[in-house]
């Protein structure tokens, strides 16, 4: 089972619109391209056919990803501005001595959010989730090193 991802209503709507576009417009268009390429004859040396089949594969993979994401999404409003890190918050933190700002939410929320995104399942996201501004937490990086994170602030995302 997939992990639940936090999305704003706008992000959910954008992903749903992308899914609809891919199913109702892109899928039939690719099917027509494949059919037209088949009409050309020998498929072994038909570059147009192979390109269309590749495009079809990529589209179907994205459709499956979007369906799973939407089925497992938790749609919510902007969280309370109480300084506690949770999904939907923009976190300013000092990570291993370097200041950075990121959104705790879904990476695949669609569009350019203007800020780096970490899910609550990512090592950094899991470490800061539930912490308060002023606290220091740590997590183990994939390379095995322990990394300290000082939470400077946590404010609701205003995307």
> Domain 5-75 carries which CATH code?
1.10.287.180
The fold for domain 89-156 equals Chitinase A; domain 3 (3.10.50)
pLDDT for 8 beyond 90 = no
The gap from C-alpha 104 to its chain's centroid, in whole angstroms, comes to: 11
Evaluate whether 39 touches 137 at the Cβ level (below 8 Å). Answer: no
Residue 108 — very low, low, confident or very high, per pLDDT cuts 50/70/90? low
pLDDT for 1 beyond 50 = no
Give per-residue pLDDT as tens, 75-94. 876 676 788 898 888 899 99
On whether the pTM is more than 0.85, the answer is no
pLDDT for 6 beyond 80 = no
Q: What angle do CA 68, 72, 74 make, to 5 degrees?
A: 140
Which has the higher per-residue pLDDT, 140 or 111? Answer: 140
The gap from C-alpha 125 to its chain's centroid, in whole angstroms, comes to: 13
Residues of the chain with CATH 3.10.50.30: 89-156
φ and ψ at 104, to 5 degrees? -90, 110
Evaluate whether 93 touches 128 at the Cβ level (below 8 Å). Answer: yes
Q: Residue 76 is encoded by which pair of tokens?
A: 């919510």
Give per-residue pLDDT as tens, 19-34. 999 999 999 999 999 9
Does the CA dihedral 33-39-40-44 come out positive or negative?
Answer: positive
Residues of the chain with CATH 1.10.287.180: 5-75
């Amino acid at each position: 089972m997939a992990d639940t991802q936090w999305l704003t209503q706008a992000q959910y709507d954008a992903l749903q619109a992308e899914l609809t576009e891919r199913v109702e417009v892109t899928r039939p268009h690719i099917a027509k391209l494949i059919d037209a390429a088949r009409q050309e004859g020998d498929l072994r040396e038909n570059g147009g056919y192979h390109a269309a089949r590749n495009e079809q594969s990529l589209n179907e993979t994205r459709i499956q990803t979007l369906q799973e994401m939407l089925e497992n999404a938790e749609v919510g409003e902007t969280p309370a501005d109480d300084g506690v890190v949770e999904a939907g918050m923009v976190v300013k933190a000092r990570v291993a001595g370097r200041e950075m700002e990121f959104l705790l939410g879904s990476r695949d929320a669609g569009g350019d959010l203007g800020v780096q995104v970490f899910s609550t399942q990512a090592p950094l996201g899991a470490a800061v989730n539930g912490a308060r501004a002023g606290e220091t937490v740590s997590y183990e990086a994939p390379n095995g090193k322990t990394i300290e994170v000082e939470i400077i602030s946590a404010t609701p995302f205003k995307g």
